[in-house]
Structure 1
Amino acid sequence: MTIATVDSASARFQSYIDRHANGQEPMEDAPRLRQWIIDHQADFAAIMDCDLKSCPKIVYDFSRNGDVVIGGTSDPARQTEIMWRQMADANAPVGIGRYREDRICYQSEQFKNDGEARSQHLGIDLFAPAGTPVYVPLDGVVHSFNDNNLHLDYGPTIILEHNPEPGVTFYTLYGHLSRESLDGLYVGQPVEKDHLLCTFGDFPINGDWIPHLHFQIIFDMLGKKGDYFGAAKPSEWDIWESICPNANLILQMPENVTANRSGQ
């Protein structure tokens, strides 16, 4: 990013803080964009082969350590084995990690800034085996992509830009992919609704996590490319919720896949 881009993004984010302090929606365009997505939910294609609107699922709670632990010093191979066994017993093709969840695995120094951890989840996680295909939910173009190959980062990541009608622009992020998912991509490449986009990655390529897709809606890229904030500081949640609304607006799962206001 150029200095001008960084300054512009910082100024916009400060404007969101100021609007929130004045009791306004932090991002002025957010209500209109959210409503557009709601009004066009029937137009979105499924992003997985299993029907997320009806298939059995296990909705996990990662706000505290339980039978399955993600991130931190956990062993992804062992945790994957436990999760797959639980999902098989429940006849569930997918496990779910919740939006707005304040996660214990994000409390390390890696996720802290000014002493506060970016611990509250901005996307929804879909857990399934490595190689699981992911499809484009709505026509768009490749905004950016990158292999964010630090431990507990996204690994290979793709961000799509959607411009379904004049005045409506938003982005979808796909993280923890296979490295092959980035082959042949280029910025501006058209992608068609319901076409194969990528596949789930395996550890350690995917950032060393249990195989899953981090799916996120973004209304303002804040100058970033190929990477984005996947979790927010709890003290800034209301601002980030405006920028990155609940991904279930697109996925449309009937289960409660959103943590409560406290993140638990």
Structure 2
Amino acid sequence: MNDELVRGEERLATCLARYAQGEAPFPEGQKLLSWIGDNQDQFASVLSFDLKTCRKIVYDFSCNGDVVIGGTSDPARQTELMFAQMAAQNAPVGVGRYREDRICYQSPQFKVGGEARSQHLGIDLFLPAGTPVFMPLDGVVHSFADNDLPLDYGPTIIMEHNPEPGITFWTLYGHLSRESLVGLYEGKPFAKGEELCQFGDYPINGDWIPHLHFQIIFDLLGKRGDYFGAAKPSQWDVWEAICPNANLILQMPENVTASRQGV
């Protein structure tokens, strides 16, 4: 393990210890939250249409319903089902919720120490493979990787944002096409509204229904090109402080956040 990851684990341990003592687990995040809140009207849509106004279907993946993601499900069949539902309701995008305790994350792959990392830290936007993704604000490439294990992110990009002195945070874009990584280099700049990447298809995207996993990160914990996309429910308050609700940037008016009970 490199020194950067070791220091990241130490910072996470400090956050967990602070929470156990009844203290704010990541107090540095409050300044970042305030900046995002103060600048919400400046963010661009990550899609070619306005997420604030378009019609959507908000899905519940805390239990198995008509559409199933992950696990042993057939992504081709589930893609067909989901996109048929979206077409029938004239909804160009499907949404997977933040904070949702998902049944698909109960496999051994997501379990460490007996408890699954099952509570979703980002927001999913479901659209066809090849859909372009645009920068919500200026940034530079921090890191990128093809996380090619089954049910992983597939091609992934992490962008760093330094909008003003003392303000640094990151956004993660997962389940992309392999072409999205071509020509990237660490430090490459992208302007607000510029196309960054495209949605990937199964199996390249980790073998999921085509979608974008979008996540805000306040501390990378030493990671590069990859990051936790779900948290242990017992540690949720800590992770929420490190990875706040991605809808702070996306700004969808619908309820895209699961309750603390996961419903």
Which of the five TM-score ranges fits, normalised by the shorter chain? over 0.9
- When normalised by structure 2's length, the TM-score is 0.99
Residue 112 of structure 2 corresponds to which residue in structure 1? Answer: 113
User: What letter corresponds to residue 128 of structure 2 in structure 1?
Assistant: P
Residue 200 of structure 1 corresponds to which residue in structure 2? Answer: 199
Deviation at 1:6, TM superposition (A): 2.4
Residue 142 of structure 1 corresponds to which residue in structure 2? Answer: 141
Deviation at 1:21, TM superposition (A): 1.7
TM superposition outliers: structure 1 runs of 4+ over 4 Å: none
- The separation in 1 between residues aligned to 2:258 and 2:243, in whole angstroms, is 15
- The separation in 2 between residues aligned to 1:244 and 1:22, in whole angstroms, is 20
Matched-pair contact (CA < 8 Å) for 1:174–1:213:
yes
Matched-pair contact (CA < 8 Å) for 2:150–2:206:
yes
User: What letter corresponds to residue 225 of structure 1 in structure 2?
Assistant: R
Q: Specify every segment of 5 or more residues in structure 1 that has no aligned partner in the other structure, as ranges.
A: none
Residue 88 of structure 1 corresponds to which residue in structure 2? Answer: 87
* Paired residues for 1:37-56 under 5 Å: 37-56=36-55
Residue 173 of structure 2 corresponds to which residue in structure 1? Answer: 174
- The separation in 2 between residues aligned to 1:259 and 1:216, in whole angstroms, is 15
SS of the residue corresponding to residue 52 of structure 2 reads: coil
SS of the residue corresponding to residue 84 of structure 2 reads: helix
SS of the residue corresponding to residue 246 of structure 1 reads: coil
Residue 122 of structure 2 corresponds to which residue in structure 1? Answer: 123
- When normalised by structure 1's length, the TM-score is 0.98
User: What letter corresponds to residue 127 of structure 1 in structure 2?
Assistant: F
Residue 76 of structure 2 corresponds to which residue in structure 1? Answer: 77
Residue 226 of structure 1 corresponds to which residue in structure 2? Answer: 225
- The separation in 2 between residues aligned to 1:96 and 1:179, in whole angstroms, is 23
Matched-pair contact (CA < 8 Å) for 1:101–1:259:
yes
User: What letter corresponds to residue 40 of structure 2 in structure 1?
Assistant: Q
Matched-pair contact (CA < 8 Å) for 2:6–2:222:
no
SS of the residue corresponding to residue 17 of structure 1 reads: helix
User: What letter corresponds to residue 74 of structure 1 in structure 2?
Assistant: S
SS of the residue corresponding to residue 59 of structure 1 reads: strand
Please provide the CA RMSD for this pair.
Answer: 0.7
- The separation in 1 between residues aligned to 2:33 and 2:129, in whole angstroms, is 31
Q: Count matched residues.
A: 263
Work out the percentage of aligned pairs sharing the same amino acid: 71
User: What letter corresponds to residue 155 of structure 1 in structure 2?
Assistant: G
Matched-pair contact (CA < 8 Å) for 1:68–1:79:
yes
Matched-pair contact (CA < 8 Å) for 1:99–1:123:
yes
Corresponding position: 1:244 with 2:243: yes
- The separation in 1 between residues aligned to 2:129 and 2:8, in whole angstroms, is 35
Matched-pair contact (CA < 8 Å) for 2:55–2:91:
yes
SS of the residue corresponding to residue 213 of structure 2 reads: strand
Residue 32 of structure 1 corresponds to which residue in structure 2? Answer: 31
Q: Specify every segment of 5 or more residues in structure 2 that has no aligned partner in the other structure, as ranges.
A: none
Matched-pair contact (CA < 8 Å) for 1:50–1:93:
no
Deviation at 1:161, TM superposition (A): 0.2
Deviation at 1:24, TM superposition (A): 2.1
SS of the residue corresponding to residue 215 of structure 1 reads: strand
User: What letter corresponds to residue 105 of structure 2 in structure 1?
Assistant: Y
- The separation in 2 between residues aligned to 1:96 and 1:180, in whole angstroms, is 24
SS of the residue corresponding to residue 91 of structure 1 reads: coil
Deviation at 1:32, TM superposition (A): 1.2
SS of the residue corresponding to residue 170 of structure 2 reads: strand
Residue 262 of structure 2 corresponds to which residue in structure 1? Answer: 263
Deviation at 1:22, TM superposition (A): 2.4
Deviation at 1:59, TM superposition (A): 0.1
User: What letter corresponds to residue 44 of structure 2 in structure 1?
Assistant: A
Deviation at 1:60, TM superposition (A): 0.1
